[in-house]
Amino acid sequence: MEDATLETTGTRPAVRLERTLRQPPAVVWRALIDCEELAAWFPCDILTEEWKVGAALRFVFRGGEWHDLEGTVLEYDEPRVLAYTWGDDVLRFELEAAGEGTRLVLINEVDSPAAARNAAGWESCLDRLEGRTPPPDGWQERFERYVAAFEPAIGHQDGPPQRP
């Protein structure tokens, strides 16, 4: 399953994406916490002294497309669950062995107007994590698809954020 789904049962909406990756959980786990591996697929660098519950995180966007964000590690259960705040959002990664590979679930709790934007962005990020190149205009097409799917349930969807 590649398309994001919208969950509305919690206090905030959540975008959920699921992928089955060829790599085993230990390799995928490194891609979630190692700076060099994150650079290949995650939208910003994550700086921390140590990955553990309660640790402070700083998110630095490489291209200056957004201001730095702060966060805190909420859950750290290697190599099964990693959750942290990402600014006002919550990101949760769940890993489960799937044959020789890994079933990865990404859940992003967001403010309602950001759901379609984040779903389109995470879909592109997960393409890169899988080693695939996202389509050239893929973000806009995905965003429009998610706007059509999400607006009836949670209202207006914002486009990309303006550079700071």
pLDDT in tens, 88-106: 999 999 999 999 999 999 9
Dump pLDDT digits (tens) for 131-154: 988 877 788 899 999 999 999 999
Strands (E), 68-162: 69-77, 81-86, 89-98, 101-109
- For the segment 40-63, the average pLDDT, to the nearest whole number, is 94
Whether residue 59 contacts residue 44, with contact meaning beta carbons closer than 8 Å, is answered with: yes
Identify the CA nearest to 106 among candidates 43, 32, 33, 35. Answer: 32
What is the model's pLDDT at position 96? 98
Q: Domain residue spans in the chain?
A: 5-154
Q: How buried is 55 (Cβ within 10 angstroms: 0-12 exposed, 13-18 middle, 19+ buried)?
A: middle
- In the predicted model, is pLDDT for residue 1 greater than 50? no
The reply to whether the predicted model has a pTM over 0.85 is yes
Residue 2 confidence class, pLDDT cut points 50, 70, 90: low
Instruction: Write the single-letter amino acid at 150.
Output: F
Q: Classify domain 5-154 by CATH number.
A: 3.30.530.20
